[in-house]
Structure 1
Amino acid sequence: MKISYQLILLITIFLISLLGIQFIYYINIKNLTEEETETYALKMVEQIEKEVTNHFTDIIRIAYTLSYSSDTQDLLTAETPVVKYESSSKFLELRKHLLRSNKDIDRLILHSADNRVISPNEFPISELLNSEYNYLNSLKQRQFTRLYNLKSNGRENFSLIYPVYNLDDNFSHEIIGYSIAVSNIEFLETLISETEIPNKYEFYILDTQNTIAAASERINNGMIFPLQLSGNIPEGTFIEMEYQKKPILFSSKDISDTGWKVCAVIPISMVNTKLVRIRNIGFFISLVFLIILLSVGAVISRSITRPIDRVVEFAASVVDHSTRKRLDLPKGNEMRILSECINSMLDRMDLMNRKILDTKTSLLKVELEKKKAELENLQAQINPHFLYNTLECLRSLGVHYESDEITEISTAMADIFRYSIKGDEITTIKNEMDCIGQYLKIISIRFQDRFRFTVNIDENIFNCKLPKMTLQPIVENAVYHGLEPKLGNGELSIRGYRKENNLCISIYDNGIGISKEISESINNYTEAYISEKRSMGLLNINKRIKIRFGSNYGIQIKSQRGKGTYVNVELPIH
């Protein structure tokens, strides 16, 4: 798979993982938000329930005080008018005092067991009891009533009915009357309104018949609570229900010993509204990450995958065509270093190819030179007896006429001729120097000792190998083209020595010298500026050495017009 495809796959996997994390995060935040919302609402329900309970407890305390005071007991059990009158006066004082202690209690009523209103007489008890007098007869313990509306004051009220037992009769548990505390609902409305209720949260206080006594929305007061409440709703928890065709979270808590309830309604849409911002933030973060990923992917594609594709295409083109092309990548990253390494490798390959080509060329030249030498050798061997006989005839004439010069020249020439055409092409330094010695004899006779020759060869190189007739032509060139044109005597010196792993032979003459252009052409292995036969001979010797042993070997010429020529021959030691 291409790196670009792998990069796209990696980005896709990362995005899917990011969306998965966002989804899990959203679900957890949703659950946490709902939990915090429910916890907060339950605390508010408990707070309202606690306030209502405290208020109801105060009403119970007042009703209890009224029911079991001695004056109330005397008033309900009085048998004579005098006792009843005295007790009534004291009862009214107590009642007045208790009413002052709680401003939310509108009336304190004492009702006898035989359905007589003892005090106050002006209170329309029929409105309170709704003409159901038997209701009191069946009541055995205190009880808060449902809401009701008194025409006398035009307000919603509720009452606490407290049975009054005869304290003088501890065995019969006789109910001698009822204390009724009539309260308005203003304190409940005030309690709800003063509670800091979040927007769209709804709290209700319900009476025993699920009538709304107080609510966060006052327009609902006095209405029947629309939800069907059952005893299966556990306290301290929220359940999902439908209210006004909208999903809600609902919870209720009973106000102990009253039959009343505190309810909380939270629209789920409100919870979701809180989550919308979190969800939008999550989507925004995902979008930012997507942009960052795409940007990083584009940068990686530009700086890595594209250069890699270019490297692959370049490698294919190099394989299919040649190594002359070079890879050019922008600077600034490791791919540039890779391209430089590839280009360096191609440069080395080109150099190796050139070396291989040069080696093959050299081998071909060596082979050609060898074939040429073989042809020349074969040609030189044509009718050798004629040449030997001619030289032998010259030697015989020299002996007959007692001419030592002719004898020595013919003998030396025969030895040189025999050396040049017989044996292997490779010879030793000693054999080459013997040939040069014969040649110098001829030169000495011819020029009548006009030239002085000096030969200094280290004995430890006598057995070193070199191509036959390598040094003799150089010596011959030095004599005929350097010393002979010179006026006066001349000097020729030959020195041989070992230099590290190379063999060095230096030939010096103090003749007329050669031009700088010709010496440089010979040294550089070129034929420029060369027209003299002498120079062509030196160039050919240089070519023979380089073809056979390599470009590190050959001859080097240092010459100055009118002062002489220095030729150095460098060969590998064999």
Structure 2
Amino acid sequence: MKHMKVKKLDNFVKITKIINITNRMKGMLLRMLKDASVVKKLFLVFCLVSLIPLLISVLAFHKSASKVLEEELGAYSAEILKQVEGRLSSFILETERMANMIRYGESTLNFLNLTKVNDDLFTIQTVGEIRRLLWSIGSLRSYLAGIYIINDHGLSVYANPDNRLVRADYSFEAQAWFEEIKKNKEFRLYPVQEQDYVDGQPTISYAGRIFDVNRNQERGTLLINFNPDVISFMSKDIQLGQSGYVFLMTPDGRRVSPAGMFPEGLIGLPPFTEAIQREKGHFIIPYQGVKTMVSFYTSPSTGWKIIGVVPFEEISAGVQNVRFMLYVIVVLAVALISILSIFLSKAITKPLKQLEQNMRQVESGNFTAAVEVWSGDEIGRLGRRFNRMVSELARMREEIYSSKLREYKLNMLHKEAELKALQAQINPHFLYNTLNTITCIGEVNGVEDIADISGCLARMFKYSISPNHHASLSEELEHVNAYMNIIGFRFRDRIQYHLNVPSYLLGSRVVKLTVQPIVENCVNHGLGPKLGQGNVWIHIFAREGCLLIRVVDDGVGMTEERLAELTKQLELPGPFEARMTEHIGLMNVRQRLFMHYEEQGTIRMSSRTGQGTIVEISIPLELGEEEERHVQRIGRG
């Protein structure tokens, strides 16, 4: 896992370096081409367009061919390694037959019963018979280094080629390798170890426990030793390239035989250790500065790894031939593409160079001067269109400038006229109702209240005709108060007026004539037709940067159809022309809010028949410095 992380980090570093090099080359190429001639640019384009696909195809083919050849070579190496496994399996099979002859012999079973060596006839006969058996079996086997039988009572009998004596003080039971044999029980081939109980020479051992069928238990150990050269002989004539070789290794990385090659430096590499965990396969790894192919196969009979190592170049002659042919193809293609690119570049740019020479005549600084057109091809048509474009751009620039200036002036005049027209539309409408009120009061009560009504009316007209479009909230509420005073004379206290507004909002700026037309609608359409007492409430408060003005009455309300019609008119996007004869004040307020605040100025309505109507106006909150500080203190509190 650690090796994989390191490999990924190395790949990331390599990719980063490639990207940096590519960016630097791109910057250098752009700087080189910035002032290059069109001939060079076209030549480069032709070469890139032709060579890049060619190179990509060649590289892809080379990679694919190399991969296929690598797989073929790996499969070929694996088949060679299977020959070693075949020889090893035959050797083990033959040795197993020899072991069976010994462990199932009657003299062997008799020897397992001996507890000590003495001079009685049975012991002498038993030891003599088993030695003759061992000598008869071992004398015909090459590479045999000795046969040893050790029973569980600590007695041993053996036969070796030179009649070498086993050390008298040697205890097999005390050796770790002997304990491993007893633990494994089954007969198997063990890797090289020193024969320290005789002369210390290295041997390969085929060993296992002897099972006494008469007593149905294991009672001894059979040890058949071979010269390690028997393992080297199995791969002696196996040829991998010129300098390749085959060696055997235990799963934990120990050598099986001391003879032959054993590349400890290769075995210690993490990629080798990781790959060798599989049953079989092949991989390529750099070793001692050489690209090396490693093939491996796991022996089913021993679990050992049969490994073949060969420099990849020695067995990849096919890859070299493919690579050489690809190099030849690339060189020929580059030469042909270069010649064709130069020819086509010059053929295309020759008319452009002639046009460039004619255009230099207008380099005196007069950039509006026309170029001389001398041909009827694409370059000639380009020159004529360039001339028309220059003159047309000059004309259009002048026209657009004049048109924008006129449009701006007309737009300003139109907005001013709309504001004045809307104000003028409200004033006569209210004046008509007020004059009716004064007439009614004069007829019923005489003239004692005329002065008060006239004073309120004068203040209202003075506020309405002032040239400013905005006023403070307190000024707007004074206008509403004057109107409600006049209404009080008209309805004789039948309509009550209630106001709820925080003092710090009185200095906020609003569009003039925003609240009074709404209150007038409440009086005329909601409370006027109602029998009995009526009320108008005005609640003003701030929320999330907006000033909210809510006008509520408990009048007759309106039907759902009428409310839907009014809501549809109020929700139309942008400015509009009101087509209603009723509620004209409401529509004028909506129009002026849009003109001043656009989409930030809104009016919403809700109503129920017999319960009253609610009109809510929302506009951006605009406070003075003193009011702003007051709001901040409230927020901190």
Q: Same fold (TM over 0.5)?
A: no
Q: TM tier, shorter chain?
A: 0.3 to 0.5
**TM-score, normalization: structure 2?**
0.41
Structure whose CA Rg is larger: 1
**TM-score, normalization: structure 1?**
0.45
